[in-house]
């Protein structure tokens, strides 16, 4: 895809699932990828997989809830690699309890990671991207951000990410910074398998027009497109990647 060769991308939540698949895809397209996560072992494994395939990557531990840490990491990335082109705010946590069983502590944790983490990444990245002539920010929302789902607190945070993405795109566009969101459906990741039983996953797959779950690589393809110059006139949009879920 155009414009990814020799670009610099930072990915949060890159230790597994969609984050790992996206890091590998961007590296395969020629980007230098800075993989971040609180899971250091998983993050290092992502970097090792990229390097085995001939790509360029580095890992840094990052808690997206920490604004100062986020900003320091991005500034260090610019200092080391000479610029910043793509930021993929993908880190997130889920919900495996009903609304009545969700504690205020877990509510706050989801808000801090899923919402504030995205805000932190966008706010810290904006001046650096603008100084480099623009770039692409991609935020991970969810189909639960589009439609009602029995994971209400999680859905609340992902709906917020989607609307924030649409809104901030209008502010950042004047500096050439594009902001889009991906809204995955049910994707076959370790986190999904942790949330749901095999029977529940089978039922979800049956609601897809394609009658199956999505794969992380299929999400990574959209991330790479949005990061690239092939999406140069696309901003403020949320992309449903759900296999035709009904």
Catalytic residues: 154
Using alpha carbons only, give the angle 6, 181, 95 rounded to the nearest 5 degrees. Answer: 120
SS3 189: coil
Rounded CA-CA distance 87/139 in Å is 8
* Termini Cα distance of the chain: 31
Determine the 3-state secondary structure of 238 from DSSP: strand
CA 135 vs CA 23, 27, 53, 95, 228: distances in Å: 17, 17, 26, 32, 9
CA within 13 Å, CB half, 86: 34
């Amino acid at each position: 895809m155009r414009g990814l060769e020799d670009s610099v991308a930072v990915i949060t939540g890159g230790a597994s699932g969609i984050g790992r698949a996206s890091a590998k895809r961007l590296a395969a397209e020629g980007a230098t990828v800075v993989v971040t996560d609180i899971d250091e072992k998983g993050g290092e494994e992502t970097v090792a997989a990229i390097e085995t395939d001939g790509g360029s990557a580095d890992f840094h531990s990052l808690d997206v809830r920490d604004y100062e840490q986020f900003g320091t990491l991005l500034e260090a990335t610019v200092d080391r690699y000479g610029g910043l082109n793509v930021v993929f705010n993908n880190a997130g946590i889920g919900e495996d309890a009903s609304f009545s069983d969700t504690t205020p502590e877990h509510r706050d944790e989801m808000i801090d990671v899923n919402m504030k983490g995205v805000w932190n990444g966008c706010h810290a990245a904006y001046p650096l991207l603008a100084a480099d002539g623009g770039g692409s920010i991609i935020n991970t929302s969810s189909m639960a951000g589009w439609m009602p789902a029995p994971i209400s607190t999680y859905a609340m945070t992902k709906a917020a990410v989607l609307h924030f993405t649409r809104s901030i795109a209008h502010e950042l566009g004047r500096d050439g910074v594009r902001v889009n969101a991906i809204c995955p459906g049910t994707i076959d990741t370790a986190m999904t398998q942790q949330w749901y039983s095999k029977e529940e996953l089978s039922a979800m797959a049956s609601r897809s027009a394609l009658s199956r779950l999505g794969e992380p690589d299929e999400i990574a393809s959209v991330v790479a497109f949005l990061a690239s110059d092939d999406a140069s006139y696309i901003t403020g949009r949320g992309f449903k990647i759900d296999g035709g879920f009904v």
